[in-house]
Amino acid sequence: MTQTKDHTPASQNQYSDDELINDFPGFTNQYATVNGVKLHYVEGGSGIPLICLPGWPQTWYSYHPVATELAKTYRVIIVDIRGMGSSEKPTSGYDKKTMATDILELIRQLGLKKVHIMGHDIGGMVAMSFAFNYPEFTQKLIVLDGSHPSEGMMQMPLLPAAGTFTEKMDANRPYAWWMGFNQVKELPEKILEGRFQYLLDWLFQYVMIDDRKMTSFERAVYASAYNEADSIRASNAWYQTFTQDIEDAKTYQPLAMPVLGIGSYISYQYMKMGLPYVANDVHVLGILESGHYLFEEKPEQVVDAVLSFLAS
């Protein structure tokens, strides 16, 4: 298992893709222009392709705790989705259907016929959209603490239930205020530009059981990736398209390929209830000793679950 290092930040350059790839033995940085947008991705290993999509507010580097172990069996391709990291940040195209088409065109450009695909958080939404729209390219689907936007989002509270908004997210009455904040255009980047570290530190404390598992170096990597106004604008656009994603979901047929949902203490019950409505062959596993950032808190359990599912 790859161990997460704790570096002392020294310069912006140490957070570049060229430097960070050194923490991924056997992986290389790659770039491709697909669907009108330039995407950054890294790949390593060999075998059946496993496409990996990260979530907010992270980048491809979030797969660091699990990537080299997965690459012992699979050709692991970790993609900075549209608007993330070193990938381009256009002004439009952040609905999950368009982002799934980005991944389809990357797969075609790589000459791949059928892939396993997994995603965490926003990456899970894109992975599910890919499976809905391109089932002929999808062998198996894995989603971690994130599934396709649905009308249930419309029931999320504007205010937290009394006594539930504490230093840790309440799994029974979750209050994800950033879902609303990220809907606002132009203001978040004015507030957070150059100050994203404050949001990161608060978020990791709130949604992780043990936020010490997110090292100071990892926090600096993600702060570096999201400190610029364009990065904040683009990542918030993933949230601003949820209403379109919900409308698109109404046209989708249930997934027929095998699906594994992996949920933390926050999301397990919701995924267990929701995924069977949209997938015919689904298993939902709870890693209840972990918060939202499962790769960092429980990497061994994630790897075991993924390898077991893909091998079955």
Residue 48 belongs to domain with CATH number: 3.40.50.1820
Q: Which domain holds residue 279?
A: 12-150+242-311
Instruction: State the number of CA atoms in the 13 A half-sphere of 255 facing the CB.
Output: 32
Distances (CA, A) of 99 to 130, 133, 145, 182, 189: 8, 11, 19, 18, 22
pLDDT tens digit sequence for 295-304: 999 999 999 9
Q: What's the confidence (pLDDT) of residue 12?
A: 58
Q: What's the confidence (pLDDT) of residue 274?
A: 96
Distances (CA, A) of 202 to 29, 196, 213: 31, 10, 14
Q: What's the confidence (pLDDT) of residue 10?
A: 42
Q: What's the confidence (pLDDT) of residue 181?
A: 97
Flag whether 180 is in a domain.
no
Name, in order, each residue with C-beta under 8 angstroms of 250's C-beta and a sequence gap of 6 or more.
none
Q: Which residue has the tokens 């409308």?
A: 247
Flag whether 286 is in a domain.
yes
Q: What's the confidence (pLDDT) of residue 6?
A: 44
Residue whose C-alpha is closest to residue 281's, from 301, 309, 255, 261: 255
Cβ-in-10-Å burial (0-12, 13-18, 19+) of 306 comes to buried
Cβ-in-10-Å burial (0-12, 13-18, 19+) of 221 comes to buried
Cα–Cα–Cα angle for 68, 71, 76, rounded to 5 degrees = 110
Flag whether 135 is in a domain.
yes
Q: What's the confidence (pLDDT) of residue 241?
A: 98
Flag whether 79 is in a domain.
yes
| Strand runs labelled E in the chain | 28-34, 37-44, 49-53, 75-79, 115-120, 138-144, 259-263, 282-286
- C-alpha span between 187 and 232 (Å, rounded): 10
- Residues facing 261 on adjacent strands: 143, 284
Instruction: State the number of CA atoms in the 13 A half-sphere of 312 facing the CB.
Output: 15
Flag whether 222 is in a domain.
no
Residue whose C-alpha is closest to residue 271's, from 283, 289, 256, 253: 283
- The domain tally of the chain equals 1
216 CB neighbour count, 10 Å cutoff: 13
pLDDT tens digit sequence for 65-121: 999 999 999 999 999 999 999 999 999 999 999 999 999 999 999 999 999 999 999
Flag whether 229 is in a domain.
no
Q: Residues in the chain with pLDDT < 70? A: 1-12
Token output for 9: 């930040």
Pair 169, 266: CB distance under 8 Å: yes
Alpha carbon distance, N-terminus to C-terminus of the chain:
22
Flag whether 266 is in a domain.
yes
Pair 257, 138: CB distance under 8 Å: yes
Flag whether 163 is in a domain.
no
Residue whose C-alpha is closest to residue 89's, from 76, 102, 77: 102
